[in-house]
Amino acid sequence: MNEYDAVIVGAGVIGLSTAYHIKRQSPNLRILVVDKFNAAGQGSTAKSISAFRCLFSSPINYVLSDSSVDFYNYVQKELGVDLKLLFTGYLWLLSEGDYAELTPILKELASKNLKFKEYEAEELAKTLGLNISQKGDEEAELMGLNDVYKGICIPKAGIIDADCIVKFYEEEFLRLGGEIRYGVKVEEIIVEACKPLGITGEPFFWQKSRVSGVRTNVGVIKAKKTIVAAGAWIPQLLDALGIECFIKPKKRQVFAVEAKSPRLRQLLYTQGFNPAGCIPFTILPKPRVLIRPFPVEGVFWLMYADDFPRAFKLEDDPQPEKNFYEYGIYQVLVKYFPQFKDCRPYSAFAGLYEINTLDGHPVIFEEKDLIVVGGASGSGIMKADAIGRIAAALYNGEEYALLYGGRKFRVKDLSIKERHVEPEKLQI
Amino acid sequence: MNEYDAVIVGAGVIGLSTAYHIKRQSPNLRILVVDKFNAAGQGSTAKSISAFRCLFSSPINYVLSDSSVDFYNYVQKELGVDLKLLFTGYLWLLSEGDYAELTPILKELASKNLKFKEYEAEELAKTLGLNISQKGDEEAELMGLNDVYKGICIPKAGIIDADCIVKFYEEEFLRLGGEIRYGVKVEEIIVEACKPLGITGEPFFWQKSRVSGVRTNVGVIKAKKTIVAAGAWIPQLLDALGIECFIKPKKRQVFAVEAKSPRLRQLLYTQGFNPAGCIPFTILPKPRVLIRPFPVEGVFWLMYADDFPRAFKLEDDPQPEKNFYEYGIYQVLVKYFPQFKDCRPYSAFAGLYEINTLDGHPVIFEEKDLIVVGGASGSGIMKADAIGRIAAALYNGEEYALLYGGRKFRVKDLSIKERHVEPEKLQI
């Protein structure tokens, strides 16, 4: 019988974390991962900004990221696998309005012993060469830009290399005897009658039916459970079955700028915020342009997650838009950090968010032998380990997943039907 | 200035009800309805099974349908406009399991003075020529069909002509000075900066922006508010703006069978259930095949709303599938009503549900001068009047809509962000 115990669609960080945790717990199971690309993590995982934070108002967001980051840190420190994890911190630059809005949330978090540090704007102006006042600048006023009033820095946050995480999971999964087939594109999920009658056209609606595998460019693959971890491609596969997952694809763009000038190098390697000796991952006031330091490469990654009217659109090869940097990100950036004046990106890339439009939390549920794992909404890298453990627990029929560090997580909290999540108030 | 006060996309029953109620309340406003077809109600409205019931467990479902049906009844009786409304009743044929499940819900409804009548299976066997026992029938057992244990009949339920409702709204809207343009296909919804700067590429993400109208095959139409009531086409239009409406299209098929034989004529014109002297709209035990009487035409409409794995799929011209009747509906139907033996449909048609996958209730919300009215999930005809009044109230910025008969309805209860609905337990 050529039926796998599970076939996992997608060798991105979510699919491989899931595969690894299932195999780790049950080494005798036959688990197959398939991916349309020719290597691991070549889809949206490779296009991620690969940053993390462990400060959220939603307890679920917190535990998913905090336990995953603890695991990555353990892998790097204890297992000696370099994931290029660096605790650079997250620095929020807040307008007076932002600050008033966030203060009650921050106070609540402080009472739970979650650590962060507050900075005065003047201090940041000095250490970062930050332009904290937009007053009198006609352009900035036209653009609706606000003065920087305070800064909040989260220490347990930083950057990591998504590719290194993916490679770690892939190697461990293979070492345990897991199978991976690259270059295998899933064309559709197969549904069959639970008790086939051998009549053409089955399943009919009066028959009980289930997902029995996938049809791919290299043939049919049968499995007891089909696990879809295909990121932004999940809704396309599920729509064909009439199953709602509340995930929509949306393009995200990242622009890389070299720290060539002395002033930019000085900014990149700003001392005092973290042991790494670089600028933290920095979030400007609204509209929240993001600066992700890449100190080893001498580079900044720049990004903005545009919402309305950015389309929900599935693209096989999404492209960055020159004007998005030139008339968008650059215009905002240079008003706060004049060091970037005249800087143009030397490279850029675009990937797809898999946005959960219900609440932005991941979606992990089972229906008719189909398990769906997705909807990380831009925080897949920082939560992948926990998500993989929860998906593995669901696969194993367990009520609770054991996250790294021993924390228990109720599997159904991320389901659709018995979902229990709290809205995140500390959004970027 | 060629800007309309509102442009309404879709001249189906929802769009025209909305148009009529806005215009009725504010006759001086310039309201334009556009539709890609060459007449009113030619999309999914025309493909509806056009039945209604006023018994639901969810208070919202109840008030939407009950007030709409009261209005239709008023139009027919008091205004003398024939909507072909007939109170045939709804007859649920229940298995023992169904009955046990529904009893607590029915008791609760009885305590609210909602009327229904219970029938013993034997009585129904006699009056309808119904086969209530599937025992000993190998095929029926293989198909998982259950015996009929009881029947529940709702008197305030029946059939109506969707086309007549649509024509009523259209005529009233035009009489009040409303404008309709047919053959106008909306290609996209237009977004503009609130304060345009005259730079190519606007709106940039740092600008506030809003929906300012629609681009169509005959040019741009500008409006203060753009109201999208395009049924199953809503998500396609909204996805392009990255706005989630939780609506998905799904095909529904209706098969028409003539009551040719004496036994079928006898079934169609069964006496005793209603003043119309015909079989009620009848719902078989699971899988719930539906029988919609069409006494004036001497016809039955037969239908089944298949869920998994019927795709969420947008089709411009959805087609009924012969096998869906032959191996699906017919096989179930003939086990309960042997009168249908060897009956084949003389015609069939297919339309698209606009399913709200959140909770099956309508979705009515405003975002950036765009108003979305949809998601009626197969009960659009029976709720259209109330939905139009609520959409008009939203357009007018009112907190409450006044439904026909004087009932007040909180507009935000059907929004996305402040949604407040109860799940429907009395589903077909």
Residue B29 lies in a domain: yes
The backbone torsions φ and ψ at residue B119, rounded to the nearest 5 degrees and listed phi first, read -120, 145
Residue B336 lies in a domain: yes
Residues B192 and B213 in one domain: yes
Task: Report the pLDDT value the prediction gives residue B107, as an integer from 0 to 100.
Answer: 84
Residues B298 and B406 in one domain: no
Residue among B33, B8, B12, B9 at smallest CA distance from B351: B12
Q: Is the pLDDT of residue B1 over 70?
A: no
Closest residue to A206, CB basis, from B203, B239, B332: B332
Alpha-carbon distance B124 to B284, whole Å? 12
Q: Is A357 on the interface with B (CB under 8 A)?
A: yes
3-state secondary structure chain B: CCCEEEEEECCCHHHHHHHHHHHHHCCCCCEEEEECCCCCCCCHHHHCCCEEECCCCCHHHHHHHHHHHHHHHHHHHCCCCCCCCECCCEEEEECHHHHHHHHHHHHHHHHCCCCCEEEEHHHHHHHHCCCCCCCCCHHHHHCCCCCCCEEEEECCEEECCHHHHHHHHHHHHHHCCCEEEECCCEEEEEEEECCCCCCCCCCCCCCCEEEEEEEECCEEEEEEEEEECCHHHHHHHHHCCCCCCCEEEEEEEEEEEECCCHHHHHHHCCCCCCCCCCCCEEECCCCCCEEEEEHHHCEEEEECCCCCCCCECCCCCCCCCHHHHHHHHHHHHHHHCHHHCCCCCCEEEEEEEEEECCCCCCEEEEECCEEEEECECCCHHHHHHHHHHHHHHHHCCCCEEECCCCCEEEHHHHCCCCCCCCCCCCCC
Residues A115 and A170 in one domain: no
Among chain B residues, the shortest Cα distance to A202 is held by B327
Cα torsion angle, B339, B343, B348, B351, sign:
positive
Residues B264 and B395 in one domain: no
Question: Which of A335, A353, A371 delimits the end of a domain?
Answer: A353
Q: Is A416 on the interface with B (CB under 8 A)?
A: no
Residues A316 and A169 in one domain: no
Q: What is the CATH number of the domain that holds B167?
A: 3.50.50.60
Could you give the percent of chain B with pLDDT greater than 70?
A: 100
Q: Is A201 on the interface with B (CB under 8 A)?
A: yes
Q: What is the CATH number of the domain that holds A311?
A: 3.30.9.10
Task: Report the pLDDT value the prediction gives residue B109, as an integer from 0 to 100.
Answer: 86
Cα A389–chain centre separation: 16
Task: Report the pLDDT value the prediction gives residue B110, as an integer from 0 to 100.
Answer: 83
The shortest C-alpha distance from B221 to chain A (Å) reads 19
For residues B266-271, give the mean pLDDT. Answer: 98
Task: Report the pLDDT value the prediction gives residue A118, as an integer from 0 to 100.
Answer: 94
Give B187's contacts in chain A (Cβ within 8 Å): none
Question: Which of B353, B373, B397 delimits the end of a domain?
Answer: B353
ipTM of model = 0.96
Alpha-carbon distance B170 to B16, whole Å? 6
Q: Is B194 on the interface with A (CB under 8 A)?
A: no
The mean predicted confidence, pLDDT, of chain A is 96
The mean predicted confidence, pLDDT, of chain B is 96
Q: Is B226 on the interface with A (CB under 8 A)?
A: no
Residue B83 lies in a domain: no
Alpha-carbon distance B67 to B65, whole Å? 6
For the segment A307-352, what is each residue's pLDDT rounded down to a tens digit? 999 999 999 999 999 999 999 999 999 999 999 999 999 999 999 9
Question: Which of B353, B368, B387 delimits the end of a domain?
Answer: B353
Task: Report the pLDDT value the prediction gives residue B56, as an integer from 0 to 100.
Answer: 92
Residue B59 lies in a domain: yes
A328 and B205 within 8 Å at the Cβ level: the answer is yes
Residues B229 and B212 in one domain: yes
B241 and A309 within 8 Å at the Cβ level: the answer is yes
Question: What's the burial of B410, exposed, middle or buried (CB within 10 Å: 0-12/13-18/19+)?
Answer: middle
A199 and B327 within 8 Å at the Cβ level: the answer is yes
Q: Is A417 on the interface with B (CB under 8 A)?
A: no
Residue A22, token pair as written in the block: 């299932």
For residues A230-253, give the mean pLDDT. Answer: 98
Stretch 6-65 of chain B: residues touching chain A, C-beta under 8 Å: none
B205 and A287 within 8 Å at the Cβ level: the answer is yes
Task: Report the pLDDT value the prediction gives residue A1, as an integer from 0 to 100.
Answer: 53
CB A349 within 8 A of CB A254: yes
Rg (CA), chain B: 23
Give B357's contacts in chain A (Cβ within 8 Å): 244, 246
Among chain B residues, the shortest Cα distance to A306 is held by B205
Closest residue to A205, CB basis, from B246, B311, B328: B328
Could you give the percent of chain A with pLDDT greater than 90?
A: 94
Task: Report the pLDDT value the prediction gives residue A212, as an integer from 0 to 100.
Answer: 98
* A374 confidence band (pLDDT: 50, 70, 90): very high
Residue B76 lies in a domain: no
Q: Which amino acid is at A88?
A: T
For the segment A172-220, what is each residue's pLDDT rounded down to a tens digit? 999 999 999 999 999 999 999 999 999 888 999 999 999 999 999 999 9
A328 and B287 within 8 Å at the Cβ level: the answer is no
Residue of A191, A204, A243 to mutate, testing the B interface (most B Cβ within 10 Å of its Cβ): A204
A242 and B323 within 8 Å at the Cβ level: the answer is no
The shortest C-alpha distance from A332 to chain B (Å) reads 8
* A408 confidence band (pLDDT: 50, 70, 90): very high
Burial A394-423 (b: 16+ CB within 10 A, else e): bbeeeeebbbbeeeebebbbbbbeebebee
Residues B272 and B341 in one domain: yes
The shortest C-alpha distance from B375 to chain A (Å) reads 14
For the segment B336-372, what is each residue's pLDDT rounded down to a tens digit? 999 999 999 999 999 999 999 999 999 999 999 999 9
Q: Are strands A4-9 and A31-35 parallel, antiparallel or unpaired?
A: parallel
Residues B150 and B264 in one domain: yes
Segment among A92-106, B31-45, B218-232, B285-299 with least mean pLDDT: A92-106
Alpha-carbon distance A87 to A190, whole Å? 44
Residues A218 and A363 in one domain: yes
B142 and A197 within 8 Å at the Cβ level: the answer is yes
Q: Is B144 on the interface with A (CB under 8 A)?
A: yes
Closest residue to B368, CB basis, from A197, A208, A308: A308
DSSP string, A248-271: EEEEEEEEEEE--SHHHHHHHT--
Q: Is B359 on the interface with A (CB under 8 A)?
A: no
Domain limits for position B198: 4-65+163-246+358-414
Residue with the bigger pLDDT between B104 and B120: it is: B120
Q: How many CB pairs under 8 A join A and B?
A: 107
Residue B80 lies in a domain: no
Give A228's contacts in chain B (Cβ within 8 Å): none
Q: Is B113 on the interface with A (CB under 8 A)?
A: no
Segment among A408-422, B94-108, B206-220, B386-400 with least mean pLDDT: B94-108
Among chain B residues, the shortest Cα distance to A239 is held by B312
Rg (CA), chain A: 23
Cα torsion angle, B69, B72, B78, B84, sign:
negative
Residue A84 lies in a domain: no
Give B287's contacts in chain A (Cβ within 8 Å): 205-206
Cα torsion angle, A16, A231, B359, B313, sign:
negative
Q: Is B198 on the interface with A (CB under 8 A)?
A: no
Residue among B262, B56, B60, B50 at smallest CA distance from B160: B50
Residue of A188, A189, A202, A308 to mutate, testing the B interface (most B Cβ within 10 Å of its Cβ): A308
Residue A424 lies in a domain: no
Residues B238 and B363 in one domain: yes
Q: Is the pLDDT of residue B190 over 80?
A: yes
Q: Is A288 on the interface with B (CB under 8 A)?
A: no
Task: Report the pLDDT value the prediction gives residue B426, as an integer from 0 to 100.
Answer: 86
Q: Is B246 on the interface with A (CB under 8 A)?
A: yes
B206 and A144 within 8 Å at the Cβ level: the answer is yes
Q: Is B327 on the interface with A (CB under 8 A)?
A: yes
For residues A100-122, give the mean pLDDT. Answer: 89
Residues B406 and B267 in one domain: no
Among chain B residues, the shortest Cα distance to A356 is held by B244
Alpha-carbon distance A316 to A305, whole Å? 19
Q: Is the pLDDT of residue A158 over 70?
A: yes
Task: Report the pLDDT value the prediction gives residue A343, as an integer from 0 to 100.
Answer: 97
Residues B196 and B169 in one domain: yes
For the segment A24-36, what is each residue's pLDDT rounded down to a tens digit? 999 999 999 999 9
Give B249's contacts in chain A (Cβ within 8 Å): none
Q: Is A306 on the interface with B (CB under 8 A)?
A: yes
Give A201's contacts in chain B (Cβ within 8 Å): 323, 327
What's the number of domains chain B is made of? Answer: 2
Q: Is B250 on the interface with A (CB under 8 A)?
A: yes
Among chain A residues, the shortest Cα distance to B236 is held by A312
Alpha-carbon distance B222 to B214, whole Å? 7
Residue among A252, A251, A231 at smallest CA distance from A315: A251
